[in-house]
Structure 1
Amino acid sequence: MTDTFQTQGRGQRYDDITRTVGDTPCVKLNRIAPDHVEVYVKIESFNPLGSVKDRLALNIIEAAERSGQLKPGQTVVEATSGNTGIGLAMVCAARGYPLVITMADSFSIERRRLMRFLGAKVVLTPKAEKGIGMYRKARQLAADNGWFFAAQFESNANADIHEATTGPEIVADFADSRLDYWVSGYGTGGTVSGVARVLRKARPECKIILSEPHTATLIGSGEAQDRNDDGSPNGSHPAWSPHLIQGWTPDFIPLVLQESIDHNGFDEVRPVDAEDGMIWAKRLATEEGILTGVSGGSTLATAMEVAADAEAGSVILVMLPDTGERYLSTPLFEAIPAEMTPEEQALADS
């Protein structure tokens, strides 16, 4: 056995796939981080279906089962850019619930194919209707058919699971270390709202840095979201424009995210360009051997900006929400050939 091999020290038998959600690793970056700081990444692709959204998918279903909102065999419906839908497809397959997903047709093809492979039905909504369009379609289907609307953008179960799992995991992993910055993007806002509840109490010295697309500065604009009486969004946010960071920043401010806006859930919000995110995702893969998507690369790009100005010895933790395999049909992989390059062909012919 080599010195680098270490067992996890826990059993590997589980009653079903949903029991494997959580306990994702924090891994130090050794080749691309600036020398004066330590940078770690929390790799959420270690969840069973490859993203941080496995956590909220499980908790939304289990909370609805406990409350009686979700009946045995009842259909679940949700609006998603893909990762929540994939997580829900896993949980619903394991628990025996039919699942219908609404998703704008602009999101990557592999996401809808994965959900269908897991047994879900995927209803596509027009790109022009943006995130609010798929959200309204899911609400309509739930109301018309008596289905359970998972409501990830509003459900308390979303942030609660990060308060119960993600936050304590971070605190435990850095119990004997500095933790000066935690950097995250946002989609529903569940990760930041839930983790902030924990870090504000357990590690108040840790600065929480949020990142959002430079063309969709919902928080950075300072403009409030127009809402209906029930708290649901009433149309698109005026600061939103299309961007390439799938899963981030829908065209409305989710109610789950509003908690962080209203209650000091972050210290700073920084805009990021998706092109920079793709550069850092590629560097992370080729120089550290860690695979993430555009959202993870964009979070890392923001963290590297923070690192440049950070005090020597600072420790920075970066959330990587999903795996790069969700982006094979997107610009992230556009320059990666499927056939042999001339150099590879020369090796084949030698």
Structure 2
Amino acid sequence: MRYDSIIDTVGDTPLVRIDPHVHGLQNIDLYAKLEFCNPFGSLKDRAAWNMVQPGLSSAIEQGSRIVELSSGNTAKALAAIAGMHGIGFKSVTNRMKIPEIKEMLLLLGAEIEELPGQTECLDPTNSEDPLTLFHRSLDDPGSTYLHTDQYYNARNPEAHETGTGPEIVADLDGRAPDWFISGIGTAGSSTGVARALRDRNPKVGVVGLVADKSDFIPGIRNIDEVQEVGIFDPLTYDTIEKVTSSEAIDGMLTLVRQCGILAGPTGGAAYFGAVRHLRDIGPELTEPATAVFIVCDRVESYLSYIRKRRPELLGQRPGSNSAASVSPEELRETASVGVAEAQKWIATEKPLVVDMRSPYAFTALHIEGSINIVDELFEDLVRGGLPFSKSQSVLLACPVGEKSLRYAALLTRMGHPDVRSLTGGVIAWRDAGAPLVRE
């Protein structure tokens, strides 16, 4: 096939049946929509092109730059589109967590600005979040940017309502599947596809997937970040279920090794969530049914993500000084202190308070006197042994108290006599009205 532009190859991605011997579901045909076959490598290519079109001619004429609050695939697609049309692109985020994506954006000529946002996803309800303030400034009359605004732009879900969803129906011989399973990021794809499928069959079951609390799966919000703002509408979904990063990698491995589908962890999460949700439904069916999940992008961009969580998959030996090696029993036995107790402990015994959040969240608000060691750096530090003197008491704090508890357990195992975790994390500290300071 011949095309006049790479843009013409956006969409019309394959729908591939997963062999029943792989997924083990009874009476259910499971299909993967391979969105990594889009030209810039992901599901986001559709929305990026659809969102940018209305203002593109004016932006070219005025020499404006495209800007988006994105650290992932939307930014990558917009950077490629901007370069094709001779204009710049700026990615604004609070933290670039995937090195390969950051390097690809730089290769595409993008400018990257990391602001001190307090959450991984835009939270428009937080009027003090610098990321939110920047987002609002983009709508000022004097703004020189073409802001695609993926969290609010109706053309985001529209791209999937007119493209991805109808393609699924066409490939199923004019029928909508009985279930559709998708991760929730901006909620554009899950919303748009759900609308298209329910136009054909209002009874389609829609399962939204989010990351477990204090966990990270690229492209998917965690359970604390799912908010009723922007495109996201909880009524879109029959159920919203949690998936852990470990389960996402398990699902990814099944797709990569048993299906030849080089899915990233986002697609792995969708596969794992789909099979888990459907496992108990199949035996109850009297007629065959179908389900579709989205494979958002490819695995190559996430090798560092996999290396950190499953080093043995890439030929490396997992370290014994790893938070991933902490057992449930160790977690139960680890000291965890509430806000009031922590305040008293800090006032009387002056432990070293270590804030494990991103440097941008730390800059915005933190416990007075605390130091910032982001969780990824902390992981590297403990591989070499205890990072603190045994004579120094330590209080670890993360957003919600889960990562800090795991690291406190690890340090206890390594021989530190007095390390504790802040129960509920910095969020609990803030909600209790305990003082926080800005850097």
Could you say which TM-score interval applies, normalised by the shorter chain? Answer: 0.7 to 0.9
1:48 pairs with 39, 52, 65, which one? 39
User: CA distance change for structure 1 residues 268 and 296 in 2, over 3 Å: closer, same or farther?
Assistant: same
Q: 1:83 to 1:134 in 2, by over 3 A?
A: farther
Number of equivalenced pairs = 299
Aligned to 1:84: 74
How far is the alpha carbon of 1:72 from its aligned partner?
A: 4.5
CA distance in 2, matches of 1:169, 1:77: 29
Equivalent residue number for residue 61 of structure 1: 52
Equivalent residue, structure 2, for 1:181: 179
The 5-angstrom pairing of residues 56-135 of structure 1 reads: 56-65=47-56, 71-126=61-116, 128=118, 130-132=120-122, 133-134=130-131
Q: Deviations over 1:235-285 (max 9, x none)?
A: xxxxxxx32111111736374433x33xx4222221222211111111111
- Structure 2 letter corresponding to 1:192: S
Shift of 1:145: 5.4
Match of 1:245?
217
Does residue 19 of structure 1 match 2:8? yes
When normalised by structure 1's length, the TM-score is 0.78
Identical-residue share of aligned pairs (%): 28
- Per the alignment, do residues 69 and 337 of structure 1 end up closer, same or farther by CA in structure 2, a change over 3 Å counting? closer
- Give the number of the structure whose alpha-carbon radius of gyration is greater: 2
Question: Aligned equivalents of 1:170 and 1:89: distance in 2?
Answer: 28
* CA displacement at 1:290 relative to structure 2: 0.8
The alignment's C-alpha RMSD in Å is 2.5
SS in 1 for 2:22: coil
Change (3 A) 1:70 1:164: farther
User: How many Å apart are 1:13 and its aligned residue?
Assistant: 1.5
Give 1:345's aligned residue: none
TM-score if structure 2 supplies the norm length? 0.63
Q: 2: CA distance between counterparts of 1:282 and 1:256? A: 33
- Determine which of 202, 205, 211 is the counterpart of 1:204: 202
Contact 2:41 2:298 in 1 (8 A): yes
Question: Secondary structure at 2:33's aligned position in 1?
Answer: strand
Q: Distance in 1 between matches of 2:136 and 2:61?
A: 18
Whether the aligned pair in 2 keeps the contact of 1:142 and 1:148 (CA below 8 Å) is no
Q: What's the counterpart of residue 229 of structure 1?
A: none
Instruction: Work out the CA distance in 2 between the residues paired with 1:180 and 1:33.
Output: 17
Deviation at 1:172, TM superposition (A): 0.5
Contact kept, 8 Å, 1:104 with 1:130, in 2: the verdict is: yes
Deviation at 1:27, TM superposition (A): 0.6
- Shift of residue 157, structure 1, vs aligned partner: 1.0
1:170 shift after superposition: 0.9
Q: Cα 1:301–1:43, aligned 2, differ >3 Å: closer, same or farther? A: same
Counterpart in the other structure of 1:303? 274
CA contact (8 A) 1:72 1:97 kept: no
Paired with 2:41 and 2:161, the residues of 1 have a C-alpha distance of: 20
Could you tell me which of 276, 287, 297 is aligned with 2:247? 276
Distance 1:304 1:45 in 2: 21
Q: Using the alignment, how far apart are the partners of 1:113 and 1:83 within structure 2?
A: 12
Runs of 5+ in structure 2 lacking a partner? 123-129, 318-439
For the residues of structure 1 that align with 2:221 and 2:61, how far apart are their CA atoms?
31
Going from structure 1 to structure 2, the CA distance change for 1:128 and 1:329 (only over 3 Å counts) comes to: farther
| Matching residue's letter, 2:48 | A
1:40 and 1:129 map into 2 onto residues whose CA distance is 33
Counterpart AA for 1:96: G
Contact 2:168 2:176 survives alignment (8 Å) = no
How many angstroms apart in 2 are the aligned matches of 1:190 and 1:317?
17
Which letter maps to 2:253? K
**Is the aligned partner of 1:257 residue 2:231?**
yes
How far does the alpha carbon of each residue in 1:75-94 deviate from its partner, in whole angstroms, 9 at most, with x for none? 11111131100010111111
- TM-superposed CA distance for 1:115, in Å, is 1.0
Give, in angstroms, the shift of residue 141 of structure 1.
Answer: 6.6
Distance verdict in 2 for CA 1:184–1:130, change over 3 Å: closer
